[in-house]
Amino acid sequence: MPGTYDLKSVCSGVKPDQTGASGSVTLTPPNFTASITSQGATTTYNGTYTLTAPDGITVDLTSPFLTQLVGTYRLRNDSLAVSGTVAGQRLSLVGTRVP
């Protein structure tokens, strides 16, 4: 699971995928970094993550604010999907592993 993934889909709140959004997710145990650019603004989520069986992920975020991303992950072939809740808002990221 460690590695860098180029984002193919970003969805926050109850909105559909953000058109034109781009970025990456990098997992270097225990560090988690997600950099998302949407409508010309970049938001970077930094923190440490832990996994729980069978598919749980908790990220203790240190920026852009102190909170947790609590949700699930799915790793299939070279694709990673992470979805959960950050500060009461749904966040879903889907990326493909960078070679």
Please state the pTM of the whole predicted model: 0.90
Residue found by looking up tokens 């069986």 in the block:
53
Give the pLDDT confidence score for residue 12 in this predicted structure: 83
Look at residues 93, 97, 85 and name the one whose alpha carbon lies nearest to residue 2.
Answer: 97
List, for the chain, all residue ranges whose pLDDT scores fall below the cut of 70. Answer: 14-15
Sorted by where each starts, the structural domains of the chain and their CATH numbers stand as: 3-91 (2.40.128)
Give the pLDDT confidence score for residue 23 in this predicted structure: 96
Give the pLDDT confidence score for residue 14 in this predicted structure: 66
Q: What is the pLDDT of residues 26-51, one digit of tens each?
A: 999 999 999 999 889 999 999 999 99
